[in-house]
Structure 1
């Protein structure tokens, strides 16, 4: 009996003993470590599960925004059929247009729409409409050029449910309507009534076929409840009339009014007696709330099936053999796909980087736990514990902590981010939990495969890399080079390997630095030994013999710093691209531009506004004709001093004021019709020109005829790529003093300053247009896809930086007991508290400085290597048409230096606090604690 009890005490790994008591005992002896692991798993699982849901949310929002922003006549799916076959009986043709049959077919059409396309029942409808407009002879309808107005008849379902107010009453049919019916009732919208002078009680006579005209009595004027909704906007003519230009006429050609008359649905058969060629239609508006970006491929397939596939055949079976389907929704989806394709790879770079750092930290936590319990595990193996038994109990120990923590993190992510796919979030959280559960057992199994009596030294000075490690590192280096080359050649649209490029660069740099780390420290330790005092030599010697497990902290730090530098540079590049695009569009911080000359007092009044730093008044002649030719070039008259200051502040084509100023006594713009100035003895005004204009007209003087009929002679003396006053590629800049009085009157003001008041500026400008750079910049973020991707990118970079600090703290905490014991021993030999602080700080600095310098250098190298393949134009500007080239990736000094300096600051701070805390405790107590461990 005693032997049985003894066996159970000495062999806790025995198969006859249940796992729970041993695991509970271990967790009870180290509750702090268990709580720390649980907190790490909760945080990591929450972030991992939140990432795919956040991506789904902003991609879905971007898709819905794209569909809602497009015109309903582009996004609606129009199912239509020609008028019933003339060979059919008249009764059957009339029945085919009645609302009962159309309603039954409408329900069948809805059922035949292939998923994931879902119709919005509130905005979808059906009815009958004349395909060909018809002239009406009624004289009360305006005739701008003497041409009679034309109308289209429509009998659309549920008119009462889509109007806000009715003047009069809605149309109705008191008796069955046929093709021979002489009179019907109709309603018109308020816009149609206003433009075409229609009132309640008006009668419009629509021509008939083999019968007299159809008299349409207007019984009501309606106001649409949602004029921008698909019910009305899919067929804009139903609520808004239009002036139609005759085909082949010029801009000032003959026009006539075209409007829509809304019949009661029961009156649709009356259209058969008109030449309007009535068509049946079933109008399907997509429900934005049911659109999901992850179903985009299936959505495109559904649309293709509707336009010419199995779904179209089903539609024809349920309605009419002549039924056809038309929609531009696929074009809208294609535009969204292009935008998403340009943004997704950049987000993938940040996600992969942060995920790598998080995985390294989880592995590092398991590895540090295995190192902390090395003596315990050595003893268990030496006393007969099987590798399988020890590993199984360690797995049970970590699983009991990690599984509930992973479930809690997943729940938090699901509650914080409703919507999105559940499967991806569960898979991400499960992966994190699995890594947390297996990191400690696998590390222990790798270290304790062989039973040892004691642990050998494992520091970078004694442990030599194995051949397998060398092969793995060389393989990783080759993969890194391949990823970098792929990204440089194909950009982020290449493949998944391109998204790994920044991370692989950081990992490769970490492995190289780990191999090179001890060499400079050993070299410095020898001369430090000859210095007075042992602190410097001792700190360098200990730093040079740091644990071989430092590869994981260094890997985490370099990967995080590289990702932070790359991500910060991406965000900075996006902001710079938007600033530059807004500047090129506006030309300054604000622009006031009138169609005619501005009031002469406006520049002085604008200068007095709060925040205005400079005002440049310019006159722009957009139709100036050089050499009396047909091609026009914008000629800008400026005040050289004010405009030179503007170009200097904006950086757009800067030049000196003296290079453009009209020489004293010159009279190039006397207003007599020709320039007679004496500029440089040639009578020409000095001019700044764009490269294209300079190459066309050269440097010899040439005349330019202005819009007011005067002519000036100019000579190009400077060439600049851009200028603030105009956005095009062609321009000429001259001194306003050389122009005639009319031509020199300012038509545009360019303002520079901070926090300009747009409202005050618009009140002062009157009828002139005002454009602010800040407002223009805000328009470039025109899709939730952009803003959502930026938020995810920022969060990923911040999380990576946080994990880097956590990795650093874990490594410092792991070494804390040994350092405390060392300080206690050294204090018994006379080491002062100040020397102890210096020792810990100097011992920690080499690895921190190495990580900081290596991270900054690696981040800089990654950006320089990968920038040719990174184009930020899509995420920065989306579909905005601005005169700016591709937004390239550039290094950002803040992103490179701030994280690196933070690493050094945290290291020094932790070492100082550790030395201060150790100094508060007695040496004997500290040695006892250290020896006990």
Structure 2
């Protein structure tokens, strides 16, 4: 213990307190960026896992004509070999896999040459006279993707055509088997194996030698061309069968000779290894965009065909969406990072003052013995480093253990922790050197007044400059529409700067006025407490700034978190329209028995049915007619959130009027007009109607996606017997499993879709970016409140010596223990009250100043704006807690020094 005191000058308790404070600030500064990195990586992985395999590829495409022109010119035909394809595949795989996007092993890459569709001229009875067309595909390599189930793989190429295999689905639909021959229309310039001039016949035989099935039906090999796995019956004004055959692996030359100049497309597919992703969405998107904008470069004999290649990928769209979402989240995270880092740095400045105050006597003795300011600086910094550096290293290790995985790179990852540690280590040395610098010579009264004026002017200039910088940062943030740098990302703290300056300017005059007013009253507690609080402006500035910063950060983070929660709840209502939405496929609906069964499910409080039909108006416009029971529908809408209320009276037909009252969306009301009635011709099995607009609805839960709609009473179409195709249920605890059980017993269960709001909300809240960001928000709130508590304790510790001497004097003058506690509390209360006033002002101003630059649609996945609202409980409750802690700490301090009054006075 004595050795530790000689090194640090603070003993075990002081060293441990400084280590805990330094470690906590460094942990908050390092764990936040790591959690954001892990959250972004998890978002990329979840996005990749949700995509089909066919979209997780890089595609390089070209055509035979372009390759032929690039290699040897249009007058001489060339032929690609399997070795050529392997060479191109290897070069492209090497180039594409060199960046942050990992590729699957090269054995997963494949190439395909595909002809254009050729008309089938053979008579296939299974097609029942429906015309057909087929494309011939040469995939390479093919053995890992197919499994032979009947017949044999082709071995030799016939002189009159191409040997092929087909899938079991194609064979079943077209009536094919091993040995079948399908004749198709051949290209005009067809040669077979280079034997002679173009064939005079326009018929090409495709000999089926085997039936195969996919080894992995979900792989990109089979999904890139859906016709390869199964034929498709295209139905429009007429019917047409579309299919694909797989050519013999040895017929690459024949494919080029027959189809080369007739539209033979060539493509290379490179699957992505999603399990090895370790990059963020912006890096992946930048690399993918670079791939698509640049032409792949080849070397060797095939180098001339580079300009004929084009690169594309279905990953570009999802990555662009994820980058946009990540950018919206990063704006908020940057604000949290910068706020915590600045608050931590200011906190360590306050701790440096405390360390310098505790070592003041030691440094004074060293200074009296001839020590230089550099020596005092070294002693103070070395003592802080002994306590702070191990704590910082432990905090960094703890951050790595709590948030495993690759951390962020670059200065963004290191500067918050390094800055916090630097202030923790160097701050006590600077404070000690400044405190024990040589005193200035005594000056005359006039020179002292001039010096005071210069100090006053310097303070005014500093405060005006700080306010101007804060206002400028907020203006830049609003114009940019988001943060991204240290200056604009500190917007929540910039809002606090003018508030702190104003409070500090008004603090001392206001307390002096209160002290003068209390001097006229009996009792000494009020006067002494207010007078001492008014004289503590110098020691109040830094704690007040730190307390306001921490409370502002806590309030801002809680405001954003609450806004996200409200936005997600609103988005879930906007997507489903009710707690449970039951929708039928077109042409299907629920009968009265099914409606009663669903409404009787436990937990259902309100149920409403609707008949949705598209109607064509006289002018050619189309609207969605929603027929409802006015009473039950109005009750259900009243139990939802975010939808326009419905008055049943507006849907009640007035006796004597033939027009049916309807509630229309703004677009429908503009079409129909607000005056008179509008006829609607008979259609969709409905009779001719005459409607009049009795009111407007901005939205309706029966059509949550919005659109042009009319809500009319069900009685207007009651005699038609149209089936109920939409049913809405609300209730806080609907038994969803019972709903599915009822669905299973109903006819047409496969045509009924049940959507629950809880599931939609869970998908929003369970998204990786959402989950990780909320963890960071929680960390920021806890750290901010912990810093606020530490500020109060340090402020009390800074004034301990002065307060102890004052209380000892007051005790000798007759003040009892309870009066001394009241005096100490009254002395500390104005600082908390001033910080509360500044924090309240910041909380009121934050939504108005910062909200336009924050886009929360990244969380809600909706374009509906989510307003920020001040949450006064978010900082009033912590302030009340700080006041309680202050009272307990002061009472404990005074009682623990009971009986030491004489010793204090002698000291």
Which TM-score band (shorter chain)?
0.7 to 0.9
Residue of structure 2 aligned with 1:327, choices 312, 319, 336 = 312
Residue 683 of structure 1 corresponds to 658
Residue 138 of structure 2 corresponds to 154
Find the aligned partners of 2:148 and 2:821 in 1 and give their Cα distance. 85
Find the aligned partners of 1:827 and 1:748 in 2 and give their Cα distance. 80
- Give the conservation status (yes or no) of the 8 Å contact 1:58–1:784: yes
Residue 581 of structure 1 corresponds to 571
Q: Deviations over 1:339-378 (max 9, x none)?
A: 3333322221121111111111111111221223333333
Alignment of 1:643 onto 2:630: no
Residue of structure 1 aligned with 2:229, choices 239, 263, 266 = 239
Find the aligned partners of 1:568 and 1:144 in 2 and give their Cα distance. 68
Describe the SS at the equivalent of 2:868.
Answer: coil
- Give the conservation status (yes or no) of the 8 Å contact 1:473–1:511: yes
Distance 1:487 1:388, change over 3 A: same
Residue 419 of structure 1 corresponds to 406
Residue 902 of structure 1 corresponds to 878
1:41-440 paired onto structure 2 within 5 Å: 41-67=22-48, 69-70=50-51, 72-80=53-61, 82-83=63-64, 85=68, 96-98=80-82, 100-113=83-96, 115-121=99-105, 124-137=108-121, 139=123, 142-143=126-127, 146-157=130-141, 159-160=143-144, 162=145, 167-168=149-150, 171=153, 173=155, 180=159, 184=163, 186=165, 188=167, 191-193=169-171, 195-198=173-176, 209-211=190-192, 213-225=204-216, 227-244=217-234, 251-261=236-246, 263-264=248-249, 266-272=250-256, 274-275=258-259, 278=264, 280-288=266-274, 293=279, 296=282, 300=286, 303-304=289-290, 307-309=293-295, 311-312=296-297, 314=299, 317=302, 320=305, 323-328=308-313, 329-416=315-402, 417-424=404-411, 425-440=413-428
Find the aligned partners of 1:315 and 1:118 in 2 and give their Cα distance. 25
Describe the SS at the equivalent of 1:389.
Answer: helix
- Give the conservation status (yes or no) of the 8 Å contact 2:764–2:859: no
Find the aligned partners of 2:766 and 2:183 in 1 and give their Cα distance. 47
Residue 442 of structure 1 corresponds to 430
Describe the SS at the equivalent of 2:700.
Answer: coil
Describe the SS at the equivalent of 1:622.
Answer: strand
Q: Deviations over 1:133-190 (max 9, x none)?
A: 3344555584376112413222322532x46x653588364xxx568486646363x5
Greater CA deviation, 829-838 or 36-45?
Answer: 829-838
Describe the SS at the equivalent of 1:492.
Answer: coil
Residue of structure 2 aligned with 1:561, choices 551, 556, 560 = 551
1:722-801 paired onto structure 2 within 5 Å: 722-727=699-704, 728-742=706-720, 746-765=724-743, 766=746, 767=749, 768-780=752-764, 784-801=768-785
1:31-42 paired onto structure 2 within 5 Å: 31-42=12-23
Greater CA deviation, 193-202 or 347-356?
Answer: 193-202
Find the aligned partners of 2:395 and 2:286 in 1 and give their Cα distance. 35
Q: Deviations over 1:725-784 (max 9, x none)?
A: 224342222332344322676432222211323332233244332222222334446863
Residue 445 of structure 2 corresponds to none
Q: Deviations over 1:812-868 (max 9, x none)?
A: 333345445544554454434433433333332222222223212211112122223
Find the aligned partners of 1:170 and 1:49 in 2 and give their Cα distance. 63
Find the aligned partners of 2:574 and 2:132 in 1 and give their Cα distance. 48
Greater CA deviation, 330-339 or 901-910?
Answer: 330-339
Describe the SS at the equivalent of 2:480.
Answer: helix
Query: How much has 1:891 moved relative to structure 2?
Result: 0.9
Residue of structure 1 aligned with 2:860, choices 859, 876, 885 = 876
Q: Deviations over 1:407-432 (max 9, x none)?
A: 22222223332213354434443332
Distance 1:420 1:538, change over 3 A: same
- Give the conservation status (yes or no) of the 8 Å contact 2:58–2:269: yes
Find the aligned partners of 2:854 and 2:4 in 1 and give their Cα distance. 51
1:511-526 paired onto structure 2 within 5 Å: 511-526=501-516
Find the aligned partners of 1:295 and 1:780 in 2 and give their Cα distance. 19
Q: What TM-score do the two structures reach when normalised by structure 2?
A: 0.85
Describe the SS at the equivalent of 1:433.
Answer: helix
Query: How much has 1:207 moved relative to structure 2?
Result: 6.5
Alignment of 1:843 onto 2:827: yes
Q: How many equivalent residue pairs?
A: 862
Distance 1:294 1:642, change over 3 A: closer
Find the aligned partners of 2:283 and 2:183 in 1 and give their Cα distance. 50
Residue 571 of structure 1 corresponds to 561
Greater CA deviation, 44-53 or 77-86?
Answer: 77-86
Residue 18 of structure 1 corresponds to none
Residue of structure 1 aligned with 2:466, choices 468, 473, 476 = 476
Query: How much has 1:504 moved relative to structure 2?
Result: 0.7
Find the aligned partners of 2:699 and 2:242 in 1 and give their Cα distance. 46
Alignment of 1:662 onto 2:653: yes
Residue 543 of structure 1 corresponds to 533
Find the aligned partners of 2:902 and 2:624 in 1 and give their Cα distance. 85
Where does structure 1 lack aligned partners over 5 or more consecutive residues?
Answer: 1-20, 246-250, 455-461, 667-677
Distance 1:243 1:809, change over 3 A: farther
Distance 1:193 1:574, change over 3 A: farther
Q: What TM-score do the two structures reach when normalised by structure 1?
A: 0.83
Query: How much has 1:786 moved relative to structure 2?
Result: 4.3
Query: How much has 1:327 moved relative to structure 2?
Result: 0.5
Distance 1:389 1:549, change over 3 A: same
Find the aligned partners of 2:800 and 2:5 in 1 and give their Cα distance. 26
Find the aligned partners of 2:659 and 2:266 in 1 and give their Cα distance. 70
Q: Deviations over 1:679-715 (max 9, x none)?
A: xxx3333332223333332131223345323133332
- Give the conservation status (yes or no) of the 8 Å contact 1:856–1:897: no
Describe the SS at the equivalent of 1:256.
Answer: strand
Greater CA deviation, 126-135 or 562-571?
Answer: 126-135
Describe the SS at the equivalent of 1:634.
Answer: strand
Q: Deviations over 1:197-228 (max 9, x none)?
A: 55566665667644585554443422333x43
Describe the SS at the equivalent of 1:741.
Answer: coil
1:529-540 paired onto structure 2 within 5 Å: 529-540=519-530
1:458-469 paired onto structure 2 within 5 Å: 466-469=456-459
Greater CA deviation, 363-372 or 577-586?
Answer: 577-586
Distance 1:915 1:24, change over 3 A: closer
Residue 486 of structure 1 corresponds to 476
Describe the SS at the equivalent of 1:350.
Answer: helix
Query: How much has 1:33 moved relative to structure 2?
Result: 1.5
Distance 1:654 1:85, change over 3 A: closer
Alignment of 1:612 onto 2:604: yes
Query: How much has 1:48 moved relative to structure 2?
Result: 2.0
Describe the SS at the equivalent of 1:633.
Answer: strand
Where does structure 2 lack aligned partners over 5 or more consecutive residues?
Answer: 193-202, 443-451
Query: How much has 1:324 moved relative to structure 2?
Result: 0.7
Query: How much has 1:88 moved relative to structure 2?
Result: 8.2
Superposition RMSD on alpha carbons, in Å? 3.7
Find the aligned partners of 2:649 and 2:206 in 1 and give their Cα distance. 77
- Give the conservation status (yes or no) of the 8 Å contact 1:619–1:636: yes
